[in-house]
Every structure is written in C-alpha cells, then in structure tokens.
Amino acid sequence: MIVLNEFYIGGDWQAPDSSQTMPILTPSTGAQVGQVTLGNAQDVDRAVAAAQAAFVSYSMTTKDTRLALLHRLAEVMQARMEDLAQAITTEMGAPITMSREVQAASGFGHLEAFIATLEAHQEEEALTNGDIVSHEPIGVCGLITPWNWPINQIALKVIPALAAGCTCVLKPSEHTPLSAQLFAEMIHEAGFPPGVFNLVFGDGPSVGAALSRHKDVAMMSFTGSTRAGSAVSRDAAETIKRVALELGGKSPNVIFADADLEARVTEGVRECFDNTGQSCNAPTRMLVERSVYDRALDIARSAAAAQAVGDPHQEGDHIGPLFDQLQYDRVQRMIQIGMDEGTPLLIGGLGRPEDLPAELAQGWFARPTIFFDVTPEMTLWREEIFGPVLVMTPFDTEAEAIALANDTDYGLDAYISTGDEARALRMARALRAGGIHINGRATDYGSPFGGFKQSGNGREGGRFGLEDFLEVKVRPPFSA
C-alpha cells in the first residue's frame, strides 16, 4: 500500500503537524490503494514561511535563470511521463491511453508553452510618456487544484508562478495525491531552490481555507466548483489578496443544419463523455437546428450506444469510472431528477453499464446518458452534472440559438458547428464564453483558458496566465 505521510516544505520532505489520514481509493474497484496524511493550519504556516523566505532571493533571479530551471524540469518530466500516467489512472480512473496521451501529456504541453511565453516576455517596457513599467512577481501564491485534471491544473498554476519569480504552496486535491507527489519529486530533481515550491496535502476546509486566509499569501489561484471558489474569495477578502478562479461550466454546443452533421454530432457526444464527463468545459448542452434535429437524435443515440465503458487500466478509447462514490451518487441523483421532471430519455439512465466484468462491479461506472427536448426550466439544463450526461434541444433561428446558448449562469467554453464562416464569426462574438470551439477545432497550449460569469475570473495558459502572477510597477527614467 502506498503511504504519503510527508509534505514537501523548504526543499525537503517533512513530517506533518497533523496526524489525520484518509484512504486513497482507486475508482475502478473502490479498493484502497494507499493512505495520505492531511495537513492543518500549522502545516500551512510552515509552508508559507518557507515560501516567504525563498521569495526574497528567487524574486530577484534573472529570466535566464528561471528559464534554465524550467528547461531542466521539462527534461525530468519527460522522463517520468509513464509514472504520471499510471498515477492518474490509479487515483482518478482516467483510462491509461487517455492518461498517457492527454492527462499526463497536458502537463508537459503547458510547460513547453510557458517556456516559450517566458522567453518572449518583456520584464520592462517604456510608455509613450517615457516612464518605465516593470512586471514583477506578486509574492507567495497559494494554489489549489482539482482531481479531474490533476497534472494539467498543477502545471497551469505552479509553472507560471515559478516562471514569474513567485514562490508557492500547492494544495492538490486530497483525492489525487499520487500525481502531485510525483510533481514535487520532479521539482526537487530539477533543482529549484528550497522553499520556492511547497506541497501540503489536505482538504478545503482546513488547508485550503488556511491558505486563503493567510496574511503572507499574496495571491490565491483556485480551480474547482463555483461553490468552493466563492468560499476561497470570501476567505481571501480580509487580506485583499488577488484571487484567480477557474470554476464550473455548462457549455453549449450549437450545431447548424449546414454543418457536417454526422461528424459534429458524433464528436459532440464523445467530447461530452470524454474523461467520463468530468471536465468543466465539456459540451453538455447540444443545441441543434430544428430541420435536422430528428436526424441528430439518431446520430447521438448511435454514438452513445457505441461509447465503450471499461477498465481504465486497459488500453483503448473507452471511458472509465467516475472518480468516487460521491460523484457517482451525484450523477445518479441528477439522472433521477431528469426522469422525475419528465425529461425525455434518449439512451442510458440509472445504474451501471450492464456488461461490466465482475471484477469491476463495485467500481463507480455510470451509463452514458442522453436526454432530449430539454428546456431552460429543467434542472438538467441549468446544473453542472460532471458525468457522462448530455442534454439536447432544438432551435429555429440563429438569434434563438444565441439566446439559448447564453441562458446559463456559466460561461467557460462554447462550441459552434456551421459551414458558414460569417455565421461562425457572428456566433463567436455573440456567445458569452471565454473559449470558442469551431467545427471541432479547439485552441492550443499557450492560449488563455478561463470563463465569463460564474465560470470564474482570470486566465490560465500562455501570456495571460503568466500575467496573473505579476504586479505592475512604474517609475520615471533616471536623471541626475
């Protein structure tokens, strides 16, 4: 059994102040594979003190020095990609092929993009009036990351913080500590100075709140639920620290009649189910032009029926389990609410897939599910489910499609499919979302990621992600 009973603080592995532990469970069977010790406010104090002490010198390092450290981290990470993939599959249930090609690979992709961003970054610039603006690290940063994309989100927070010259304390999800432990080992091997990066395991109400409230933390960067993001903001308000939030989503997928219907609907279903539906920017509301709606329903039904569900430790393009019992129960509850409200069910429904092998019978597997004729008054339209559940509805006009797509408290991503370039650009302008996908194409590493409305504030990735960790200082040119 894996035992994680030390925190990485001040460049060394230290015994925690806390003795509270929790089991590490693997989603495919529900079995315990390890145990992690959860920290407390005293552990946070030690980690923040180490980060604050390290900030004095690290914040003054040259860009070239930080680039050399990041290049070394890239070498170390590349050598340990298989370790990362195996850890992610074990702790959160992503199928091993996806863990290798997407989950683990995303951390390396973001690292490369931030290296390129830092290389191009100008730390000082002259204004038209002759004054000089410098971009300087904000200070000690508290970073809280989720379980659904563990290394992706660690990379999107830790790497720009270190690139900017900040120091940090990372609190990863207590449910996915294995990949975070590996990342800390990589930071150590890459040779970052002691105290620049610190890792404390723990839950939100203890470690997360202690970080958010800490007077010596200059910035909080949080990814998770909108409810928890609101709590981080409240905790951080007393000390007037910067808060960057990447929160929930209920992303629309608008498909017009002139799109490649077979490809776009099939792709939309698979994109919704990808990562077992546990992605904040998943296209969970499919809006289809009425003239091709019935055909789209047939295509969607076939795509869902073809979606394999299986053992995440086996290679392939199937989806795996939900990450824990609480998430499984939530998805089942949401499906039941849909049925109770009379929402028509196209395919799927309650319970586990019927063809699971016996050894996976206790795993947290859900049936790929589609509801149709869903209206904005229904719960499934409004609430983020975070499971393999898609809702579909028809529209008649472009104006109606825009109104329906924007009828949500969230605004993370939006998807558009049409053969008309002018319409695609009109839609992209009109949709209230931070990221736009057009005809199956998304943006790449180095582009900003984040949302409007209750999907958060700030941006992660590339130049905009780096700037979140920088303060602006202005001075006049020197004259004797």
Whole-number Å distance between alpha carbons of 188 and 197: 9
Q: In which element (H, E) is residue 143 found?
A: strand 140-144
* Amino acid letter for position 70: L
- For residue 14, the SS3 value is strand
Q: Contact, 419 vs 425, CB < 8 A?
A: no
Q: Contact, 9 vs 170, CB < 8 A?
A: no
Q: Contact, 164 vs 137, CB < 8 A?
A: yes
Return all residues near 38 (Cβ < 8 A) that are at least 6 apart: 18, 20, 21, 22, 174, 201, 202, 203, 206, 207
* Total residue count of the chain as it appears in this document: 480
DSSP character string of 261-294: HHHHHHHHHHHHHGGGG--TT---EEEEEGGGHH
**Nearest alpha-carbon partner for 225 in 290, 163, 278, 299:** 278
Where helices occur in 431-475 by DSSP H, the ranges are 462-467
Q: Is 383 a catalytic residue?
A: no
Residue tagged active-site, from 91, 174, 246, 467: 246
Q: What share of the chain is helix, strand, coil (3-state, %, to 5)?
A: 40, 20, 35
**Nearest alpha-carbon partner for 395 in 299, 263, 285:** 285
Residue 203: C-alpha distances to residues 146, 200, 211, 367 (Å): 11, 10, 11, 29
Q: Which residues pair with 32 in a beta bridge?
A: 25
For 281-423, strand residue ranges (E) read 285-289, 345-347, 369-371, 389-395, 410-411, 413-417
Where helices occur in 345-478 by DSSP H, the ranges are 379-382, 398-405, 421-430, 462-467
Q: Which residues are catalytic?
A: 246
